[in-house]
Amino acid sequence: MEFQSILSAATGGHGLAVNPWASVAYLVAGVLFILALRGLSSPATAQAGNRFGMAGMLIAVVTTLLTHAPATAEGFLDTVGLVEILVAIAIGAVIGIVMARRIAMTAMPQLVAAFHSLVGLAAVAVAAAAYLNPQAFGIADAAGEIFTVSRIEMGLGIAIGAITFSGSVIAFLKLNGNMSGSPIMLPGRHIINLGTLAAIIGLVAYFTFDQSPWIFWTVTGLSFLIGFLLIIPIGGADMPVVVSMLNSYSGWAAAAMGFTLGNTAMIITGALVGSSGAILSYIMCRAMNRSFISVIAGGFGADAGPSDGGSKEQRPWKPGSAEDAAFLMSQADTVIIVPGYGMAVAQAQHALREMADQLKKEGVTVKYAIHPVAGRMPGHMNVLLAEANVPYDEVFELEDINGEFAQADVAFVIGANDVTNPSAKTDKTSPIYGMPVLDVEKAKTVLFVKRSMGGVGYAGVDNDVFYMDQTMMLLGDAKKMADDIVKALSGSGH
């Protein structure tokens, strides 16, 4: 029996799988993807979630290879084409394994942004291939006229994919330090952005009536441009929202291309990623008390004015040492640790866990307070603490622990500025006004680890906690400070 006959039995028009076994396999893959998302919702089940996702992707890839294997004009298996596909998969697998093993946890945000860019670029490539050879994809009639529904899918896929790619590239450059994390404000940017978006929407609508090449490639070019324009004015403080937003975009791009390819697994996966990313973006925006539109408009995290640099008011503050911190925490009943991006930069999570272990040996209750937007991406602090084997039951989210600061003896803040800044609750002129923050100032003593008094957080505002009577500033590298505190705890006999 010719290979083409076998392939025809497994696939139908528009590339949709009609083989019941293929449908069942895609359904199983979809269920595994859902279980993966459920598992990833908690650090305790994240490893199992990753395994579910890997199993689902393996099933989806193998099923797609079996039902869409390349065939020659005579109807036999195209071994050359199959080998090329397998080689491409192997190359991608090797790159992925090497990156996963070598990447530092502090660089995880930019890695995620880079992966999003690849998803967007893949969607653009698939859309371009389908446009250039629509009959091979089963989305055109004998005369080469692309079906209207396929034009809609293709137009949306190319637009969302291109936006995801260029936006993710800018996010990567900002996160990786190749580009300033401060907003870059272009003159008339809102008018330019709205005009470009309107042009893209109008051309995608017109594409349903006219499939001329100039329309397709103009949509592609404008979409690459608007992705660049949208992310350039967004500051570092909004990066957690940007990462989750681009995650959502990549999912919708994949779902649109799933319809074009008639691939059920792509549709399911894309919809799951798109919807979960959108929900996460909403959660991040709520955690910052900002609307999605205000994030896209950009500007949060700009360089500060009077509160930044040497022009700010000189206020008295209390310096401290590792020995002071060790003594105060060893005498405490409860210590709440608040990690931030400063901990990530210094890679101090392991030293921090050692410090907590020393305190627990002396009967001190230790808890960790995580703000939803601490760090550079959603869950950044949770990932770092999990890497250091911090027990999951000691890690609490903002809404679960904020009421406990008033009863805590010590709040130990390590590199978290904006998410502990009380001006968010009192100063209507502050750029972070209205953002829920951790109430560290209510603790009896605040130990604040910071590299220097001159720096400010991404929002560019000073933190009043630095100058409060109960605050002791521990200036220096976060990892070294934590290591010194561990030595002081061990050497003191406590």
CB 274 within 8 A of CB 248: yes
Amino acid, single-letter form, for residue 469: D
Asked if 418 is an active-site residue, the reply is yes
Q: Which two tokens stand for residue 263?
A: 């691939």
User: How far apart are alpha carbons 208 and 202 in whole angstroms?
Assistant: 10
Angle between helices 264-287 and 46-67 (to 10 degrees): 150
3-state secondary structure of 90: helix
Task: Kindly give the residue spans of alpha helices, DSSP state H, lying in 40-107.
Answer: 46-67, 79-102
Shortest CA distance to 412 belongs to which of 459, 467, 470, 372? 470
- Give 380-385 contacts, CB < 8 A, sequence gap 24+: 380/108, 380/109, 380/240, 380/341, 380/344, 381/339, 381/340, 381/343, 381/344, 382/43, 383/43, 383/105, 383/108, 384/105, 384/106, 384/339, 384/343, 384/344, 384/349, 385/43, 385/339, 385/349, 385/353
The structure tokens 């003594």 sit at 327
User: How far apart are alpha carbons 331 and 269 in whole angstroms?
Assistant: 52
Shortest CA distance to 123 belongs to which of 228, 222, 260, 215? 260
User: How far apart are alpha carbons 445 and 469 in whole angstroms?
Assistant: 9
User: How far apart are alpha carbons 19 and 11 in whole angstroms?
Assistant: 7
User: How far apart are alpha carbons 440 and 337 in whole angstroms?
Assistant: 10
CB 168 within 8 A of CB 113: yes
The one catalytic residue among 418, 462, 483, 484 = 418
Q: In what order do the strands lie in the sheet with 365-370?
A: 395-397, 365-370, 334-339, 410-414, 445-450, 471-475
Concatenated DSSP letters of 217-236: HHHHHHHHHHHHHHHTT--G
- Give 70-77 contacts, CB < 8 A, sequence gap 24+: 71/3, 71/4, 71/7, 72/3, 74/2, 74/4, 75/2, 75/3, 75/4, 75/5, 76/2, 76/3, 76/4, 77/3
Residues taking part in catalysis: 418
